[in-house]
Structure 1
Amino acid sequence: MSSSPVIKERRQPTPQEFVEMQNSAEFKELRSKFRSFAFPMSVAFFVWYIVYVLVATFASDWMSTPVVGNMNIGVFFGLAQFITTFAITYIYIVYANKNLEPRQAAIRQKMEG
């Protein structure tokens, strides 16, 4: 006979406990850590995207300059947008695993027991 694993039931925090946690120093630190990464990275990516659009709009002759075969500067700028997106995602995962996940786990443990 096989024994099934024992699944520990999580405790459901009360609404008041959620409010108290939201006002706690540890939650404010978590939120601050998240914002200190997300806001600057979002602004940087948005600026990079706007530069791409403006250059494509106002320097279309330069963007159409061939680089390799039929591929021009505009194609490489467009590909750089994708590469930037993947790089930001990777950087965020590394940052979150190091700086956010431990704090989130501690808060979850405190709330759910």
Structure 2
Amino acid sequence: MAQQERFDWWAAQPAGRKAVLPSPVRRLTLGRSAARTAVEPSAAASAAPEETSVSAEAAAEVYREVQASAAFQEIRRGYRGFVFPATVAFLAWYLLYLGAQAAAPGLMRSQVAGPVNVAWLLGLLQFASTFLLAWLYARNARAKRDRAALGLRWDTQDQLR
């Protein structure tokens, strides 16, 4: 797939249709000069007075600009800053559990309380750590990324109207 077409899948309209957007369509101005999107003359003449048709390519360009923007990159950096270390930590914890099962079966059979042994305890802690990780992810997203992503979404939608 060509680089030009890489992100067109979300903005693509069914064959023969053009996106209908209010006039005039503004372009994303994150770090760039304020520019107005060119509206196709034939589409402007056939549209209702308050609406103007813009090609799918123009709409896709707005999304490409958003993707290249510093605000979007900061949101992705925040996402990756949490998800990658959390994934590594969870996989390490899981592999430690599996390694302990294979390397130290005597230790894993040690009784902790009643019929519960170390293996059962560590297995149940795997579930607990999954729920803890999900809670931490939601808290991190709510505190650090959701507001910025919503603002970027509203800006983008304003540009597509």
Show the counterpart of 2:157. 112
- Distance (whole Å) between structure 1 residues aligned to residue 86 and residue 60 of structure 2: 33
Structure 2 letter corresponding to 1:33: G
Let me know the Cα RMSD of the aligned residues: 1.7
DSSP-derived class of the 1:44 partner: helix
User: Is residue 2:91 matched to residue 1:46?
Assistant: yes
DSSP-derived class of the 1:107 partner: helix
How many residue pairs get aligned? The number is 104
- Distance (whole Å) between structure 1 residues aligned to residue 75 and residue 110 of structure 2: 47
Structure 1 letter corresponding to 2:105: S
Show the counterpart of 1:58. 103
Show the counterpart of 2:114. 69
- Distance (whole Å) between structure 1 residues aligned to residue 67 and residue 84 of structure 2: 20
- Distance (whole Å) between structure 2 residues aligned to residue 74 and residue 66 of structure 1: 9
- Distance (whole Å) between structure 2 residues aligned to residue 36 and residue 70 of structure 1: 41
User: Is residue 2:66 matched to residue 1:21?
Assistant: yes
DSSP-derived class of the 1:101 partner: helix
DSSP-derived class of the 1:48 partner: helix
Show the counterpart of 2:26. none
Q: Which has the higher contact order (CA 8 A, sep 6+)?
A: 1
- Distance (whole Å) between structure 2 residues aligned to residue 87 and residue 50 of structure 1: 18
Structure 2 unpaired stretches of 5+: 1-20, 23-55
Deviations 1:42-63 (A, max 9, x none): 0000100000000011101100
Structure 2 letter corresponding to 1:67: V
1:68: how far off?
A: 1.1
1:30: how far off?
A: 0.4
- Distance (whole Å) between structure 1 residues aligned to residue 111 and residue 74 of structure 2: 49
User: Is residue 2:101 matched to residue 1:101?
Assistant: no
Deviations 1:51-80 (A, max 9, x none): 000001110110011111111000000011
Report the structure number with the largest CA radius of gyration.
Answer: 2
Structure 2 letter corresponding to 1:23: A
Question: What is the TM-score normalised by the length of structure 1?
Answer: 0.87
DSSP-derived class of the 1:67 partner: strand
